[in-house]
Amino acid sequence: MKRKPIPWGRGRPANRLLSYTALLAVSLMLSCAKKEFESICDENCCDTTAIQYEYVTEIKDAEADYGNGGFWLKNPINNVPAVNLCDLSVDKVKGLENTFDPTSLPESLSKMPFAYRISGRVYNDIYTVNIIGRPVYWIRLDNVKKIK
């Protein structure tokens, strides 16, 4: 006599139990990862997706030059002088004069005007650092002042 298949799954009960256990384990890991992420990155992160950033530091009135979608800092953060601009800060740089020319590096470092003072929170792109092996910093600006 042929057995009628169960509509919600095929195979032996042990295989189904193993599959359901694996699914439960993956679900628990994902929910824990989400909780860990929430502690790393809150609503003050760089963009609306906010899935890849961890807080590094906050800077106040740091000397910087602006250009190419980011800032070049006079005093680097952990030996990284460049910080990219977060999507949520784009409105704060509208109309800023480009004072940084990356094509003239490194000769131009001594001649850079560092015409801006910037303040904000700096985040690290935690996925990219695993790929390229160095930090990639992003800044969510609180304010930008031109001084020169």
- pLDDT by 10-residue block (mean), the chain, 148 residues: 58 53 49 43 63 86 92 93 90 91 68 91 85 90 92
**Does the residue 46 lie in any domain?**
no
Q: How far is CA 102 from CA 68, 70, 72, 75, 122, in A?
A: 8, 11, 9, 17, 21
Residue 39 has a pLDDT of 38
pLDDT tens for residues 41-84?
655 577 766 567 888 999 999 999 998 889 999 999 999 999 99
Indicate the pTM of the whole model.
Answer: 0.67
**How many domains are contained in the chain?**
2
| HSE, side-chain direction, 13 A CA sphere, residue 34 | 6
Q: Please report whether residue 5 resides in a domain.
A: no
Query: Are 72 and 35 part of one and the same domain?
Result: no
Give the domain range for residue 26. 11-40
